[in-house]
Structure 1
Amino acid sequence: MYHDPKPVESPSGLEVFRNGAIGRKWTRDTTVPHEAMEVEVHGRRAASTKPAVTPVLLHRLRHDKSILALVVSSTNIFAGTQGGEILVYSLDTYERVAVIEGHRGSVLGLCLSQDQDLLFSSAGDRIVNVWNTQNFSRLYSIYSTYDVGDIFCVSYSSTLQTVYLGAQNTSIQWYDLREKDTRPQPSPTSHPSFREDRFFDSPGPGGVRTPRPQPPEGGPRHATGGRILELDKQYIRQFAHYGYVYCMLLARGILSDDPTEEILISGGGDGVIRLWQLDAANGGAIHEIHKLEDGREEGEAVLTLAVEGTFLYSGRLDGEINVWDLETKQLVRNLKAETDDVLTLSVGGGFLFTAGVSGIVQKFNRQYETVTEFQAHDRLILASAFAIINDRPTFVTGGNDNTIAVWNVRDCISAPSSKRTSNEHLIESLKQFISFRTVSSDPRYKGDCRRGASYLRSVFKNFGAATEMLNTEDPYNPVILAKFRGNPAKSASRKKILFYGHYDVIPAENEQGKWIGDPFSLLGIDGYLYGRGVSDNKGPIMAAIYAVNDLKEEQALDSDVIFLIEGEEECGSRGFEDAVRNNKELIGNVDWILLANSYWLDDHVPCLTYGLRGVIHATIKVESQHPDLHSGVDGSAMLDESLKDLIMVLAKLMGPEGKIEIPGFYDPILPISNEEKRLYSEITETLLRGNPELGDPRQLAISLMRRWREASLTIHRFHTSGPENSTIIPRMAEASLSLRLVPNQTSAEVARILTDFLHSEFAKLASQNRLEVTIDHQAEPWLGDFHNEIFKTLEEAIMEVWGPTPGRRKSSVSTLKSISERHGYSDSKPSPATSSTLANGPAEGDGVGYDETSEPTTLARKPLYIREGGSIPSIRFLEKEFEAPAAHLPCGQASDSAHLDNERLRQLNLTNSREIFKKVFRDLPKK
């Protein structure tokens, strides 16, 4: 691993590299195409004849500073940054698990102990810290009695329990942790943070000393605790190299047949590689046993090292890579990489990965042929690591474009076959599903909708489901019916669970470039999956399918699970009801209905939805017998103008504070019960605990009630005939409006009284114009019984999967004391709590919002029971048609941006939803 401790950026984008022996400028011309790669072997150019396998970008993790060091454990990625932090990311979800603020200078080196319990970090602050990889606490802080400068690299011998560090002052130093209790405690004033620098703190002209800047108050947040350890002078090898010591690693079984014997290998700015024997009897002291030189010009620095078996690879300037046989100490190959200066090397699966200034990764096989190359970063690649994660070969890169990239280099090994599907397979299937532009509202994508439906049907078939395509009236998209049959031994008593979803999506043309990537190419960034339909509704569908297959593989599926996936939900479920009625015998009986097509209230607490509003979309049109006229020539009080009539009629629909004036409109609506009031109290307390900026709990509850359990009317747009100028009296004017209905209202009755009321009010105008009211679409409201078996099963599964609740703030939040009846919430109009307001609260774990350090709780995370203001046309229809209760599991977070640019779904939400579905499909039949 290489890092320039003090990069200098010029306006032209040059970065200056100083290696202690020579000066060299790095530059990259991104306009130069990279042709087919070749390898130089002792002066000969050997072109690769094997087809390249392009690696798959699994995820990209963003930060605000350069990534300088990387190591990968079995569970986490650890990344050292230019800002002194160590970032920790989960390999399962790619979420950031922790940010360890551990150093005052750039983190230049990282190393894991053999058992992965210890993490060692070296930095530009002259410190080596040792961290517990389970709780990320600091165990030791090690420093030298000398001014070593930047510590570029760190290694650890688990056998000798000795830490080795390579420094800017050309030394290699070590500390035997077995002696930590016998060595004297160091003086606090000897710590590097108290020392004067011979250069920066020296007197200037006239003997004037520049005032020394004071370090930030308290230092790095997590650089506290643990033992402070000082390196004794006898544990220092001065001038280990005649240049900076850039890189080190430990190799085993090289000098003898003992596979546990270790040697230390170091590379420096002098262009030399040295092999050191470790003296176990002398505190791990090093003794040089061999020096590897390739005969090239002195000062051609060795920037990075990698070892595989008895072969050592060293990366140098100008793309030079040397291959050494450590048994014979001979240089066996000299490769020429197209990466410019080679800043990082990794080996794994029989391949050598090289990367550097160009941002390109080049991969060599064991015949030293270039297998493939790919652009991994926009700028310098400064660190890399290879690991086998869940039988998947994984390559991780980090660069000064402030990102970490995780690659599936699947050609590296033949992973063992496994019938059990993995979350990686789930995401691969979802990626393919997202690639189909299943936009139901645009006839251009009719073919894509059909291909998307065929692909989804193939997924069902591959997992053993019996499938049918239920035709709808042309040109509507078909409905997919898939049946997974449960345990044959329980055929007589098997319950039947219906899962409803939709494969169509809304448009995402991205003509203005607002998406961070192609909307129809799944992209993983910072623990989230981005793509149109990933949250609404393709991700939840795929999670449910994989959950059923998990149970099948475990022979634990005791119920029949029926999937009904339509392709017209975003257009009002056109043709769905007829398709279900026409094939009801084929679908069969249903005991419960489950859907997953909505979101949490915020980004922290899971929810269960038990109510949805219904909707009526209507068009109100007023037409006159005269053509479009000129207001100056023909305008008069005697003329009945269509737009004026339309506005006057629409004005009769609503009174103050949005009250709908249609007679009898509110009569069927149920009053709020005391039990429902308690639910709102729980909701407001939870939301305000995470985001107190939402304000008064009572006003927040009122705002939610008006969105969820009150009917509303919205006028969406106006349209008039004639040219668009300010002098025209239009012949025709029309408006589009919607009414959101609540339980106990029926869409047919509300459509009738709306039409009657508009005609009645229009008649009072005595206008010669003609009024036409068209009901374009209607959907019934839905109210579920959150006391029944399916809701309780969902609640138990959520609590088990999501685990403990987030920490609580020390300050208590006032609960909702009382809520007035439907029309008496407040004397003043509250500011509405929109979905955007709730989604934009503080992020969990960032030091605000949920306080993980105060009042920790081990209670399971109980979901919030919520209602929603939106509508899903099919849910109430399915309940009535099959006489079965429905429940709604929101999978996404409030910030998922469904129907907006950059729609996303947190990967953890996807995989946890899979586990929740699995538990529900398994446990619900037992109720």
Structure 2
Amino acid sequence: MAPTLSHRMRHNKSILAIVLSPKYIFAGTQAGEILVYQLNTYERVAAIKGHRGSVLGLCLSQDRKLLFSSAGDRIVNVWSTEDFHHVYSIYSTYDVGDVFCVSYSSALKTVYMGAQNTSIQWYDLKQKDVRPKPKPTSHPSFREDRFFDSSGPGGIRTPRPQSADGPPKDAKGGQNLEIDKKHIRQFAHYGYVYCMLLVANFLDSGEEMLISGGGDGGVKVWTLDEENGGAIQELFELDDGREEGDSVLSLVIDGTFLYTGRIAGEIDVWDLETRQLVRSLKAHTDDVLTISTGGGYLFSAGLSGVIEKFNRQYETVARFQGHSGRVLASAFTLSNNRPLFVTGGNDNTIAVWDINDCVQGDVDSHRTSSEQLQESLAEFISYRTVSSDPRYKGDCRRGASFLRSVFKNFGAVTEMLATEEPCNPIIFAKFKGNPSTSPSRKKVLFYGHYDVIPAENENKRWKTDPFTLTGLDTHLYGRGASDNKGPIMAAIYAVAELKAAQKLDSDIIFLIEGEEECGSRGFQKAVQKNKQLIGDVDWILVANSYWLDDHVPCLTYGLRGVIHATVQVKSAHPDLHSGVDGSAGLDESLKDLVMLLATLTGRRGHVQIPGFYDPIPKITREEVALYEDITQSLLQRNPELGSRQELATSLMRRWREASLTIHRFTTSGPENSTIIPRIARAAISIRLVPNQEAHEVGRTLIDFLNAEFSKLHSSNRLTVTIDHQAEPWLGDFNNEIFKALEKAIMDVWGPFEHQRRRSSAGPTKVLNDKLKALTMLSDAKKTPAKAGPATSSTLAKGSVTPPDEDESPIAQKSSEESVKRRKPLYIREGGSIPAIRFLEKEFAAPAAQMPVGQASDAAHLDNERLRLANLNNGKEVFRRVFAELGKE
């Protein structure tokens, strides 16, 4: 069967060479760069500017500590794979042209290079300190260029580009090594030396051999003379009986069989023991540019971008489109017993393929928890669980059933908790801790939601199918990947790992609803009805928000609440014509509504409702210190955000200040400019903060509007309805669950302050968008916040006014930041999640919120995504926290 595309990484140049280590993917590009990607997260950790020509060949030392690169600039560079620093530059005194390939003998410590001038040359690194030091000007980057330094018409030389002076920036430093003229085998082939490979234990002889393929169609096997600096001596040439063979472009060995890829689409299969041509496969109609073997299969690809997969009987078992252009490089590896096939092409991408039918044993038994997690998430994403659209009611139920099956497969006790029609059910699942632990073991409730917002993609703004999880550039794209299916699945797999290891010492309860995107309809009644089934709860954990930027993990300890209300003014008369019926004596509904709404706020949005601000606690010095940490972290990377005090003030206004917003007006009658409407409505919302109570604010809102309306002495009738409300939430960031989360994040993420070299979205844009739209994004979620029960009132005690700017620690603290492990940022958010405060009150248990996603995840927007590293690390954080909270 065809391999499964696991991930695709994009670049701006063709990928010409690939080599794999247990940790990294190394990819050589047309622009002379060597890209380095982590194999487990696909994050690019380095882009080494190593050559002034295309990187044509890569190879690793046997211990994986050295990386060798060859290129069109006539140089072989050697790099440390630990810090990616340049170690050596190796070059010939001859003009060898392009160096197509490079190999390295770890036993002899000798580097071999195959060149365009038909030679194979080598350098014994054991001699690097005793050989004469070359002149600096002998380095190929200082030599005359055949094009730029040649004489043009009239004998005038073209000026050399300044960029051609000296080696590229990352190739500076290290040691220059000049190949001895004795260490050159001229005319190793009667054509370019396109490919080489070094066999450490040739035919179980214990000897190293070098195999090379060239433009003359020949394949040669060379012995290596240790006594003579690694000199090569031809042992034999494989003879296919052709008078003039087609160029050999690629080589790979599997046991005693050698496979050679040629132009015109042929793959020759050689038995090295008998030196016979076993088979000649017509694999492609075009040149075979790369071949690889692994897992009992042979893979070949070339100009068309199509990859052929052959079994041991040389039968084609799969044929699939790997790239939209030429496939120029490939490699195979077993990563944690996971068979991976990696390809690169001139469509500027690197593709990672899962070989699920690898014959090296049962693949399923070797799959890691993280791989299975990604597979489960992919199926979870495929269900269009859009709660706001009745068309997807069936998909919502099927998605809920799938999630319940995941719980059941891991041994949880599960039930579907019904809600009133037409609401989606709630999934209840309970993992019981080890029987050997105390009967009074701790109980942790994890809350989440499986419903998502629409993603029809009618305007083709998505890069991928929204309901097909797609790995692209270190991220997993798909609707719900970040909000909230990815975090849910990470939490489930965290519990499953603990249970499999018999280290689950607490009961973990999951409540996953299907109506969060519609304001958690029916959630409260269903939970109250099934409270006995759910049982007691000690801690509540939520993972339904995002980091403040793309760099530093966060913990959320506060959310604003919300009241959505409709204010309506209705006249006794029908819709009228302003010209025929309009007069100063007519009470117009829209005019009354405008005058009424104008009484709600004063200057700069100050809410005029009596007693509105009275319950709100002032900021404490402890919370001021949290804002110091936030502003210091953000301004370190984004100084254009202003002063610390300005940034802190901006965040406080969005996170911890109450506000009132008028959203829209609607009127009765046809839409034309002459109508006096009978009915005028306005939608308003109030964002609440601790210790404001939603029901109390809602009551005073209605009373205030009725009182103000009576002052108008209008014959019209006022109606105020509360459409939705949710309590604000404030958690105690000093309690046990926050401390457990903090420690786990620090242990898992390590020195994350400067660990990430790049972010897929520019940090400045992400942060500015986040600050500008913090409230709008929350409105889009339609979810209410929570207010800490006893927690909110407890934190309100002993509060103080914020310090003046000239004495504020925010303004005075040094901007220096440590690269050591640091705490996550403790943040609040301006949006609302209805369930958190309700669950706290209902179960008398404190809650904490751990964002899994980053600021650039684009939840509720096109191209929603979750970084693969965040998914895996989120799972590990959950695992550690569930284990820690279960301790006596």
**TM-score normalised by L of structure 1:** 0.88
The one-character-per-residue Cα deviations of 1:53-102 (angstroms, maximum 9, x if unpaired) are 13211111111111110011111110011111111111111111111111
The one-character-per-residue Cα deviations of 1:141-166 (angstroms, maximum 9, x if unpaired) are 10111111111111111122111111
Give the deviation of 1:459 after TM superposition: 0.7
1:331 matches 2:277: yes
Q: Distance in 2 between matches of 1:352 and 1:419?
A: 21
Partner of 2:840: 879
1:377 matches 2:323: yes
Partner of 1:891: 852
Q: Distance in 2 between matches of 1:641 and 1:318?
A: 84
- Seen in structure 2, the aligned counterparts of structure 1 residues 908 and 792 have a Cα distance that, compared at 3 Å, is same
Q: Does the Cα contact within 8 Å between 2:775 and 2:831 map onto a contact in 1? A: no
SS of match in other structure, 1:454: helix
Decide which of 795, 808, 820 is 1:859's aligned counterpart.
820
1:117 matches 2:117: no
- Seen in structure 2, the aligned counterparts of structure 1 residues 550 and 714 have a Cα distance that, compared at 3 Å, is same
Partner of 2:421: 474
1:624 matches 2:571: yes
Give the deviation of 1:338 after TM superposition: 3.3
Q: Does the Cα contact within 8 Å between 2:141 and 2:165 map onto a contact in 1? A: no
Partner of 1:505: 452
**Identity percentage of aligned residues:** 71
Structure 1 stretch 720-729 or stretch 261-270: which is displaced more? 720-729
The one-letter code matched in structure 2 to 1:145 is: T
Partner of 2:411: 464
The one-letter code matched in structure 1 to 2:37 is: Y
Q: Does the Cα contact within 8 Å between 2:548 and 2:770 map onto a contact in 1? A: no
Q: Does the Cα contact within 8 Å between 2:197 and 2:212 map onto a contact in 1? A: yes
Decide which of 345, 355, 371 is 1:409's aligned counterpart.
355
Give the deviation of 1:466 after TM superposition: 0.8
Q: Does the Cα contact within 8 Å between 2:148 and 2:159 map onto a contact in 1? A: no
Q: Distance in 2 between matches of 1:831 and 1:366?
A: 55
Decide which of 33, 36, 50 is 1:85's aligned counterpart.
33
Q: Distance in 2 between matches of 1:247 and 1:637?
A: 93
Decide which of 77, 96, 112 is 1:164's aligned counterpart.
112
- Seen in structure 2, the aligned counterparts of structure 1 residues 578 and 689 have a Cα distance that, compared at 3 Å, is same
Q: Does the Cα contact within 8 Å between 2:466 and 2:479 map onto a contact in 1? A: yes
The one-character-per-residue Cα deviations of 1:763-790 (angstroms, maximum 9, x if unpaired) are 2223333222221110000111111111
Gaps of 5+ in 2: 757-767, 778-814
The one-character-per-residue Cα deviations of 1:270-290 (angstroms, maximum 9, x if unpaired) are 222222222222111112232
1:321 matches 2:267: yes
The one-letter code matched in structure 2 to 1:234 is: K
Give the deviation of 1:837 after TM superposition: 13
Q: Does the Cα contact within 8 Å between 1:836 and 1:895 map onto a contact in 2? A: no
1:197 matches 2:145: yes
Q: Does the Cα contact within 8 Å between 2:87 and 2:174 map onto a contact in 1? A: yes
Give the deviation of 1:108 after TM superposition: 0.8
1:787 matches 2:734: yes
The one-letter code matched in structure 1 to 2:499 is: K
Give the deviation of 1:736 after TM superposition: 1.6
Q: Does the Cα contact within 8 Å between 1:339 and 1:361 map onto a contact in 2? A: no
The one-letter code matched in structure 2 to 1:532 is: R
Q: Does the Cα contact within 8 Å between 2:142 and 2:166 map onto a contact in 1? A: no
The one-letter code matched in structure 2 to 1:403 is: T
1:451 matches 2:398: yes
Partner of 2:598: 651
Please state which structure has a larger fraction of its residues in helix. Answer: 2
Gaps of 5+ in 1: 1-52, 810-829, 840-853
Decide which of 289, 300, 318 is 1:354's aligned counterpart.
300
Partner of 1:665: 612
Q: Distance in 2 between matches of 1:276 and 1:298?
A: 21
- Seen in structure 2, the aligned counterparts of structure 1 residues 740 and 292 have a Cα distance that, compared at 3 Å, is same
Q: Distance in 2 between matches of 1:232 and 1:723?
A: 91
Give the deviation of 1:524 after TM superposition: 0.9
Q: Superposed, which structure 2 residues align to 1:249-648 within 5 Å? A: 249-254=197-202, 257-258=204-205, 260-296=206-242, 298=244, 300-338=246-284, 340-413=286-359, 414-415=361-362, 418=365, 422-648=369-595
Q: Distance in 2 between matches of 1:104 and 1:836?
A: 45
SS of match in other structure, 1:178: helix
The one-letter code matched in structure 1 to 2:448 is: G
Q: Distance in 2 between matches of 1:343 and 1:318?
A: 10
Give the deviation of 1:323 after TM superposition: 1.6
Q: Superposed, which structure 2 residues align to 1:781-860 within 5 Å? A: 781-807=728-754, 833-834=771-772, 857=818, 859-860=820-821
Q: Distance in 2 between matches of 1:725 and 1:390?
A: 68
Q: Distance in 1 between matches of 2:240 and 2:169?
A: 45
Q: Distance in 2 between matches of 1:294 and 1:633?
A: 101
1:55 matches 2:3: yes
Q: Distance in 2 between matches of 1:393 and 1:449?
A: 34
Give the deviation of 1:206 after TM superposition: 2.3
Partner of 1:49: none
SS of match in other structure, 1:249: strand
- Seen in structure 2, the aligned counterparts of structure 1 residues 732 and 856 have a Cα distance that, compared at 3 Å, is closer
SS of match in other structure, 2:732: coil
Q: Distance in 2 between matches of 1:808 and 1:485?
A: 37
- Seen in structure 2, the aligned counterparts of structure 1 residues 510 and 371 have a Cα distance that, compared at 3 Å, is same
- Seen in structure 2, the aligned counterparts of structure 1 residues 199 and 884 have a Cα distance that, compared at 3 Å, is closer
Q: Distance in 2 between matches of 1:443 and 1:396?
A: 42
The one-letter code matched in structure 1 to 2:213 is: G
The one-character-per-residue Cα deviations of 1:687-743 (angstroms, maximum 9, x if unpaired) are 111211211111100110010100111222222223333333333222222111001
- Seen in structure 2, the aligned counterparts of structure 1 residues 421 and 139 have a Cα distance that, compared at 3 Å, is closer
Q: Superposed, which structure 2 residues align to 1:141-156 within 5 Å? A: 141-156=89-104
Give the deviation of 1:660 after TM superposition: 1.3
SS of match in other structure, 1:165: strand
Structure 1 stretch 287-296 or stretch 308-317: which is displaced more? 287-296
Give the deviation of 1:492 after TM superposition: 2.4
Decide which of 40, 44, 52 is 1:104's aligned counterpart.
52
Q: Does the Cα contact within 8 Å between 2:141 and 2:167 map onto a contact in 1? A: no
Q: Distance in 2 between matches of 1:838 and 1:111?
A: 51
Q: Distance in 2 between matches of 1:126 and 1:863?
A: 48
Partner of 2:134: 186
The one-letter code matched in structure 2 to 1:919 is: R
Partner of 2:806: none
SS of match in other structure, 2:171: coil
Q: Distance in 2 between matches of 1:534 and 1:205?
A: 62
- Seen in structure 2, the aligned counterparts of structure 1 residues 122 and 375 have a Cα distance that, compared at 3 Å, is same
Q: Distance in 2 between matches of 1:270 and 1:408?
A: 35
1:137 matches 2:85: yes
Q: Distance in 2 between matches of 1:546 and 1:808?
A: 26
Q: Distance in 2 between matches of 1:858 and 1:648?
A: 56
- Seen in structure 2, the aligned counterparts of structure 1 residues 831 and 492 have a Cα distance that, compared at 3 Å, is closer
Q: Distance in 2 between matches of 1:887 and 1:785?
A: 8
Q: Superposed, which structure 2 residues align to 1:689-728 within 5 Å? A: 689-728=636-675
**TM-score normalised by L of structure 2:** 0.91
Structure 1 stretch 152-161 or stretch 620-629: which is displaced more? 620-629
1:222 matches 2:173: no
Q: Does the Cα contact within 8 Å between 1:703 and 1:831 map onto a contact in 2? A: no
Q: Distance in 1 between matches of 2:480 and 2:770?
A: 27
The one-character-per-residue Cα deviations of 1:462-519 (angstroms, maximum 9, x if unpaired) are 1111111111111111111111111212232311111111111111111111111111
The one-letter code matched in structure 2 to 1:409 is: I
The one-character-per-residue Cα deviations of 1:408-444 (angstroms, maximum 9, x if unpaired) are 0111223366499510011111111111111111111
Decide which of 209, 215, 234 is 2:182's aligned counterpart.
234
1:208 matches 2:156: yes
The one-character-per-residue Cα deviations of 1:573-614 (angstroms, maximum 9, x if unpaired) are 111111111111111111111111111111111111111100
Partner of 1:777: 724
The one-letter code matched in structure 1 to 2:133 is: Q
The one-letter code matched in structure 2 to 1:770 is: R
Q: Does the Cα contact within 8 Å between 1:805 and 1:857 map onto a contact in 2? A: no
Q: Distance in 2 between matches of 1:598 and 1:874?
A: 13
